[in-house]
Amino acid sequence: MSAGTVIPVGDALVVLRDNGPKAAAYGIRGAAAVVMSAISVLLLIA
C-alpha cells in the first residue's frame, strides 16, 4: 500500500510537466497521495 503512494505523486509530476493546472496536480493527486500514505500508516500500525 505504501508503495502505491508513489503513483499519484508521479501522476502529479506528469500533470505539472505538461503545463496542466496546478490545482489539479496538487489538489487531486496530492490529496490522493496523502490519503494513501495515511491509510498505509494505519495498516502498518494495526
**In the chain, where the domains are located:** 3-45
Q: In angstroms, rounded to a whole number, what is the distance separating the alpha carbons of residues 32 and 39?
A: 11
Residue 5 has what pLDDT? 86
**Spatial contact of 14 and 42, defined as CB atoms under 8 Å apart:** no
Q: In angstroms, rounded to a whole number, what is the distance separating the alpha carbons of residues 11 and 30?
A: 9
Residue 18 has what pLDDT? 94
DSSP 8-class letter at 12: H
**Spatial contact of 5 and 30, defined as CB atoms under 8 Å apart:** no
Residue 32 has what pLDDT? 92
Q: pTM value?
A: 0.75
Residue 37 has what pLDDT? 92
**1-46 tens-digit pLDDT:** 778 888 998 999 999 999 989 998 889 998 999 999 999 999 999 8
